Structure 1
Amino acid sequence: MARAAYTAVMLHRPTLSTKLLAMGTAFLLVALASIGFTLWVTWKLEGGAAAVNEAGRLRMNMLRMVLAQQHESPQDFEQLAQRFEGSLELLRTGDPSRPLFVPWGDATRAHYTGIVQRWRTIRADWRAQPPSGEQAMARGDAFVTELDGFVEAIEVQIARWTAGLHLFQLLMVALVIAAAVAFMALSYLVVLNPVMRLQQALARVQRGELGTRLAVEADDEFGQLTAGFNRMAHALQTSHHDLERKVRDKTASVEEQNLRLQALYEVSALAAEAGSLEALTQGFVQQVRRVALADAAAVRWSDETNQRYVLLAADGLPQSMVEDEHCVVAGACECGQTAQQARMRVIPILPATDLQMPHCREAGFQTVISIPVRQHQRLMGEVSLFFRRPVALADDARELLASMARHLASSMEGLRAAALEREAAVAAERGLIARELHDSIAQSLAFLKIQVQLLQTAVARGKGAARDAAIAELDIGVRECYADVRELLVHFRTRTQDEDIEGALRATLSKFGHQTGVAARLSMSGQGLPLAPDVQIQVLHIVQEALSNVRKHAGAKSVQVNVQRHPRWRFEVHDDGQGFDPQAVPPDSLHVGLGIMRERAEAIQATLSVTSQPGGQGTCVALDLPATSVESAAPPPTFQPSGPPAPLAQVSLTD
């Protein structure tokens, strides 16, 4: 009976939240009360200190009135008197906003009353008959003595409040120590002890003692936690018997998923490493056959009209079947599906079925799985899996085979795109060579053809002077043609190996000076991000073409190349040659290489301008590049014979 009563009392104890809330509330109330009392005492001390300062101001004002009574006008003295009375009134009423108030007591009230009476007497006497200087000073000293007594009374009150505050602080320190001790004791009893019991029970469970249980002694949070622990231990004990079976099932499932992921990874790796369609498809049929546990596998390619399927690769098929089904017309066999009906199918090979192409049945296959290979709704072919047994295709296996077929389609499309890129690069390179030959060597050869005709005419007519002139022109033309060939080879071989274009520019100017004897100088200014390599190629070609024009037409004695890196790249080629009128050159003229430079500028989305004047004014070619031409920019089309396209750039050539 007594134990039941004890249990009832224990089960109806306050909850842990109630206990903690009560403790926190008590601590909060005590803290708020102590803070409020401390603030109130501090406020009183601040007001008393302000009152002491105001009383000190009365001393100063009294001294000023004594001096003003002797040396200043009555109006000034009256203003000082009114200020003095305002200070007295402020001490009497106080000012809570500052704060300022007198800590009134018997002593402070007596001193304040004496100050007010003495002031009224002094002011009445001064109004009736102004005293002499010595008398006024004596009465002022007596008044100040009274003020000192008032200040001392205030300071006594402040000292009392300060002592009380210190005593209260000592009491609060003792209270904090006692509260800390009480809090630690209650924490141990209310929190730490139940937690330790739970930790010990958990340790026993970790050691394998799944029958461990704890007695529920209260209905608080720890009681609920204890009950939950008991339920957890019971669940662990119940699930322990079939845990190994579940682990085995899960392990088998994970291994199956790993095999599928490995298959997809191998297909992706094959796609990355295969350099040709034959290598890709042959590796794919081997992997898909191994993954599907098929007896044979084949990959067929379909044309854009999906009228026929050509066998690309096979693994495990009889040689006769490979030869007989090298090309299958769509709809002639179960394997060659039309684009409208293409889907993954499991096709049983029945003995009594009339087939147009009975090779599968003759080879002993009983089931064929047909998997379409699609890319962006386009049927590119199909994968066929052959089995010499009946096969049922599960959903997960179906998804795996579909994923492998999608990887194959993406890889085939990637190989086709790479082939198209290589073809486009070759076409661009051939176009570049054709333009370069047309713009330089073809014109020189045309000039030589005309001179040969003139030479033949002069020889036939026996004109020696014309013959010699034609031979001289032929010699000059051959030399120019040879120089154009060498310059064309230099253009084709120009590459940039460094991030900074300065080295390539200096090498170009060095070759120019060595070949022509014209002084060439390079000036670099500012700091900026490096140009993309393909943009550097175009810039170098434009600079080389400008130098070529200087060599052929300018008759210059010196060339200056200025390069500015910031805020954006700018290239200028100055010469002191004879100059020309750019407006007189037709837009389609290639006389001074403007067409070549314009084409190179257009290839990087740029503009070209030349500033020059005839009569020895020289020529300046300027090239301005925007920020998109730096190394981090995306590459656009370029005249470079091989490699990726160059970044977009805006080119402005000005003199």
Structure 2
Amino acid sequence: MSDLSLHSALHSPLPATPLRYRLSTRIVMLSGVALALFLSMIVGTLWLSWQLEGAGAAINDAGSLRMRAGNVAIQLAEARAGRPANVASQSALLDSTLARLKHGDPVRPLFLPETPAIRAQFDVVSATWHDALKPAITQDASEPSSYLARLPAFVTQADALVRLVEHENARKTAWLRRSQLALAALACLGTVAIVYLLYAWFVLPVRRLERGLSRIEQREFTARLQVESRDEFGHLAQGFNRMAGELQSLYRDLAGRVAHKTAQLSARNGELLALYEMTAFLHGAHDVEVLCRGFIERVMRQFNADAGTVRTLAQDDDNLHMVVSVGLPEHMLNDERCMPARDCVCGAVATSGVAVIKDLRAGRASPGKNAADCGNAGFSAVTAFGIVSHQIALGSFSLHFREARVMLPSETRLLETLGRHLGNALQNHRLAAAARQLAVAQERHLVAQGLHDSIAQSLNFLKMQLYLLDGAAERDDMKEIREIVPLLRGGLEESYEDVRELLVNFRTKFGSGSLRDAIEETAARFERQTDTPLALDFEEAGGMPLPSDQQLQVLFILQEALSNIRKHASASHVRVTIRNAQDFHLAVQDDGDGYDPADIASRGEAHVGFHIMRERAARLGAQLRLESEPGNGARVHLLLPAGKRQAA
């Protein structure tokens, strides 16, 4: 079974679960029933509590009826004694209390229980007050004992009302306790029921799934789950059974698939190892022939080829030149050492960059001298791949097989990649050679400029003196001869010093970090040559050492500046200041004759020393400033900014 069929089987959607069987529906219904029960019980207890609170307030007001009736009797006694009394206000308070008991007050709350006995007793109390006691208040003046005689009957009726309300409250309190006990019991039973249902709905199915997965982990692919419900877990069980069936079917041919994948992985590892070894070899320091021979020998071993060649396109013509060959017959080497690119398979690959794989067996080789030669030499197949670097065709390499050989796409990709690596190595070799030639040409140019600025001028001076000496000798003018000979001796000595200085300058080589030693040696040599004191101030201000090539350019600029001072300045003191901070500063100052910058500028490049210093500063990426006035000395200042410094 393929990976695609397994993937489709495992990921095919299960049929949707009907709404009434879903676990979410069960949970919602269970939660709704539990919520309704609990809310009803809570509402009942709240209603009983509210009733008890209102009845308690009614008991207080019913009990206050006796007190207020007694207060009325007291006020009547005060009135009869001639003292101030307020019978009307006490009577009004009793009326308002009866009204509250009759109509109730939901805000407090206050109300009498709605039972027939309590309502009947309240009517008796109200009638006793309105029909007996209240009329006796107005009769108290004529019948002083009338109110007091009727008061005990009212108090008795009020006490009976209070007892009835208290009895009703006691009954409701008992109901409240029973409802609270029922609520607690319901909570316990509901919790047990919910835990049981959740266990039955979730825990048991999950445990069945865990047991099934454990059996699958033990490679028991015959494991199946019993579908016991139509909810989501039932659908999961169905999906698990489908997965187990697919895995059981897949595992039957798993060993073959693993062996196939292992072979593929081994081949990939071999390709990566070959690519790594080839890359390591191509990055070594080899000449072109060793590079190409090592390349083709490694490729032949990797692909079990019987022969191989590496050819490069000539840069000045359209010919394909064989650089190395391994395993080709001698007559083929003589015929194919150099041939037009269009006459062979390798040439076509070299110019187009498209790989070619040829079967040279009878009747299948394409016409052409090269294909015929390979077939006549006993080869059955030949493959050719381009040597390319950055879309530039450099040549081709070929592999020859005596037995029929089929190139797999992965092998073709590997050979094309190896061709690009060889192309990059050859191109880097060419670029390195060109860079070396350019460096040699630049140094030769600087040497020529130095010779022109020093020795050529001295030799020209000596030539003129020799011409004058020849004329004086013809005239037999000994006086003039004696004047010319010291000039010739001085010119020869100066030329000798110039040659020595040039040899020392252009032989200067040093490693990173030895700039101070080289500058001190240059300063000491200047003092020996000129007997002019030189003050050197070298300050290390936290800057990193310059790399050797930049140090060499700085030293050449210093040597050229000191050479100009020795030849032209006639200075008494020279000061060299170097400060290596984030920026690198070099300053050379003398108190000699100086020069006119306008005159130097008008001469252009005739003053070769200044031109050499400017070229070296430009090569560094530094800024060079030349300052002078006639009679006030000269100053050379070199600034290498931090952005132009290279890592040492």
TM bracket (short chain): 0.5 to 0.7
Residue range with higher mean Cα deviation, 587-596 or 260-269: 587-596
| Alpha-carbon shift at residue 336 of structure 1 (Å) | 4.5
Kept in 1, the 8 Å contact 2:345–2:356? The answer is no
Among 345, 356, 363, the alignment partner of 1:344 is 356
Paired amino acid for 1:361: G
Corresponding residue number in structure 1 for 2:491: 477
Residues 1:219 and 1:460: Cα distance change in structure 2 (over 3 Å): farther
C-alpha distance in structure 1 between counterparts of 2:628 and 2:470, whole Å: 40
Corresponding residue number in structure 1 for 2:279: 268
Q: Larger Rg: 1 or 2?
A: 2
Among 604, 610, 613, the alignment partner of 1:597 is 613
Paired amino acid for 1:583: A
Kept in 2, the 8 Å contact 1:16–1:222? The answer is no
Paired amino acid for 2:360: P
Residues 1:206 and 1:425: Cα distance change in structure 2 (over 3 Å): same
| Alpha-carbon shift at residue 366 of structure 1 (Å) | 3.0
Among 286, 292, 310, the alignment partner of 1:299 is 310
Q: 2:589 is paired with a residue of what secondary structure?
A: strand
C-alpha distance in structure 2 between counterparts of 1:579 and 1:341, whole Å: 64
Paired amino acid for 2:489: D
TM-score (structure 2 length as normaliser): 0.62
Residues 1:230 and 1:276: Cα distance change in structure 2 (over 3 Å): same
Among 298, 321, 333, the alignment partner of 1:287 is 298
Q: What residue ranges of structure 1 are gaps of 5+ in the alignment?
A: 1-7, 27-177, 634-655
Residues 1:282 and 1:223: Cα distance change in structure 2 (over 3 Å): same
Equivalent runs, 1:315-464 vs 2, <5 Å: 315-333=326-344, 336-337=347-348, 339=351, 344-350=356-362, 356=369, 358-375=372-389, 378-464=392-478
Residue range with higher mean Cα deviation, 191-200 or 457-466: 191-200
Kept in 1, the 8 Å contact 2:293–2:325? The answer is yes
Residues 1:464 and 1:397: Cα distance change in structure 2 (over 3 Å): same
C-alpha distance in structure 2 between counterparts of 1:272 and 1:581, whole Å: 54
| Alpha-carbon shift at residue 249 of structure 1 (Å) | 0.9
Kept in 2, the 8 Å contact 1:571–1:622? The answer is yes
> Once the two structures are superposed, what CA deviation does each residue of 1:395-415 show, in whole Å capped at 9, x if it has no partner?
333333333333333333222
Paired amino acid for 2:439: A
Corresponding residue number in structure 2 for 1:622: 637
C-alpha distance in structure 2 between counterparts of 1:17 and 1:572, whole Å: 93
Corresponding residue number in structure 1 for 2:262: 251
> Once the two structures are superposed, what CA deviation does each residue of 1:186-234 show, in whole Å capped at 9, x if it has no partner?
9995878876665555444434444444555666766665555544444
Kept in 1, the 8 Å contact 2:469–2:481? The answer is yes
C-alpha distance in structure 2 between counterparts of 1:369 and 1:525, whole Å: 63
Q: 1:536 is paired with a residue of what secondary structure?
A: helix
Equivalent runs, 1:175-190 vs 2, <5 Å: none
C-alpha distance in structure 1 between counterparts of 2:376 and 2:405, whole Å: 18
Q: 2:311 is paired with a residue of what secondary structure?
A: strand
Corresponding residue number in structure 2 for 1:558: 573
Among 259, 278, 298, the alignment partner of 2:289 is 278
| Alpha-carbon shift at residue 318 of structure 1 (Å) | 1.9
> Once the two structures are superposed, what CA deviation does each residue of 1:227-283 show, in whole Å capped at 9, x if it has no partner?
555444443333222111110111111222223333333332332236122122222
Corresponding residue number in structure 2 for 1:102: none
**Root-mean-square deviation over aligned CA pairs:** 4.3
Among 612, 625, 633, the alignment partner of 2:628 is 612
C-alpha distance in structure 2 between counterparts of 1:484 and 1:188, whole Å: 105
Kept in 1, the 8 Å contact 2:585–2:639? The answer is yes
Corresponding residue number in structure 1 for 2:586: 571
| Alpha-carbon shift at residue 333 of structure 1 (Å) | 4.9
> Once the two structures are superposed, what CA deviation does each residue of 1:334-371 show, in whole Å capped at 9, x if it has no partner?
55538479651414243798864643333222333343
Corresponding residue number in structure 2 for 1:63: none
Paired amino acid for 1:348: L
C-alpha distance in structure 2 between counterparts of 1:612 and 1:232, whole Å: 93
Residues 1:433 and 1:546: Cα distance change in structure 2 (over 3 Å): closer
Paired amino acid for 1:620: R
C-alpha distance in structure 2 between counterparts of 1:629 and 1:592, whole Å: 25
Paired amino acid for 1:603: R
| Alpha-carbon shift at residue 471 of structure 1 (Å) | 1.9
Q: 2:283 is paired with a residue of what secondary structure?
A: helix
Q: 2:593 is paired with a residue of what secondary structure?
A: coil
C-alpha distance in structure 2 between counterparts of 1:294 and 1:606, whole Å: 56
Q: 2:271 is paired with a residue of what secondary structure?
A: helix
> Once the two structures are superposed, what CA deviation does each residue of 1:572-609 show, in whole Å capped at 9, x if it has no partner?
22222333333333433666932332332343455543
Kept in 2, the 8 Å contact 1:297–1:314? The answer is yes
Alignment partner of 1:583 is 2:594: no
Residues 1:404 and 1:545: Cα distance change in structure 2 (over 3 Å): closer
Paired amino acid for 1:612: S
Kept in 2, the 8 Å contact 1:531–1:629? The answer is no
Among 477, 486, 506, the alignment partner of 1:492 is 506
Kept in 2, the 8 Å contact 1:532–1:629? The answer is no
Corresponding residue number in structure 2 for 1:240: 251
Kept in 2, the 8 Å contact 1:441–1:484? The answer is yes
Between the aligned residues of both structures, percent identity stands at 38
> Once the two structures are superposed, what CA deviation does each residue of 1:78-113 show, in whole Å capped at 9, x if it has no partner?
xxxxxxxxxxxxxxxxxxxxxxxxxxxxxxxxxxxx
> Once the two structures are superposed, what CA deviation does each residue of 1:125-145 show, in whole Å capped at 9, x if it has no partner?
xxxxxxxxxxxxxxxxxxxxx
Residues 1:186 and 1:533: Cα distance change in structure 2 (over 3 Å): farther
Residues 1:203 and 1:627: Cα distance change in structure 2 (over 3 Å): same
Equivalent runs, 1:12-411 vs 2, <5 Å: 12=21, 14-15=23-24, 199=210, 201-215=212-226, 228-273=239-284, 275-304=286-315, 307-333=318-344, 336-337=347-348, 339=351, 344-350=356-362, 356=369, 358-375=372-389, 378-411=392-425
Among 556, 560, 564, the alignment partner of 1:549 is 564
Paired amino acid for 1:621: V
Kept in 1, the 8 Å contact 2:569–2:594? The answer is yes
C-alpha distance in structure 1 between counterparts of 2:524 and 2:540, whole Å: 19
Kept in 2, the 8 Å contact 1:370–1:385? The answer is yes
Higher fraction of helix: 2
C-alpha distance in structure 2 between counterparts of 1:374 and 1:472, whole Å: 67
Paired amino acid for 2:491: G
Paired amino acid for 1:473: L
C-alpha distance in structure 2 between counterparts of 1:418 and 1:187, whole Å: 82
Aligned residues: 472
Residue range with higher mean Cα deviation, 587-596 or 474-483: 587-596
Residues 1:328 and 1:577: Cα distance change in structure 2 (over 3 Å): closer
> Once the two structures are superposed, what CA deviation does each residue of 1:156-189 show, in whole Å capped at 9, x if it has no partner?
xxxxxxxxxxxxxxxxxxxxxx9xx99x989995
Residues 1:193 and 1:621: Cα distance change in structure 2 (over 3 Å): farther
Q: 1:273 is paired with a residue of what secondary structure?
A: coil
Kept in 1, the 8 Å contact 2:623–2:640? The answer is no
Corresponding residue number in structure 2 for 1:641: none
Q: 1:314 is paired with a residue of what secondary structure?
A: strand
Among 524, 540, 544, the alignment partner of 2:539 is 524
Paired amino acid for 2:626: V
Q: What residue ranges of structure 2 are gaps of 5+ in the alignment?
A: 1-16, 36-187
Paired amino acid for 1:560: R
C-alpha distance in structure 2 between counterparts of 1:577 and 1:17, whole Å: 108
C-alpha distance in structure 1 between counterparts of 2:520 and 2:275, whole Å: 53
> Once the two structures are superposed, what CA deviation does each residue of 1:405-463 show, in whole Å capped at 9, x if it has no partner?
33333333222222222222222222222222222222222222222333333344333
Residues 1:417 and 1:456: Cα distance change in structure 2 (over 3 Å): same
| Alpha-carbon shift at residue 331 of structure 1 (Å) | 4.6
TM-score (structure 1 length as normaliser): 0.61
Paired amino acid for 1:320: H
Kept in 1, the 8 Å contact 2:622–2:641? The answer is no
Residues 1:444 and 1:524: Cα distance change in structure 2 (over 3 Å): same
Corresponding residue number in structure 2 for 1:81: none
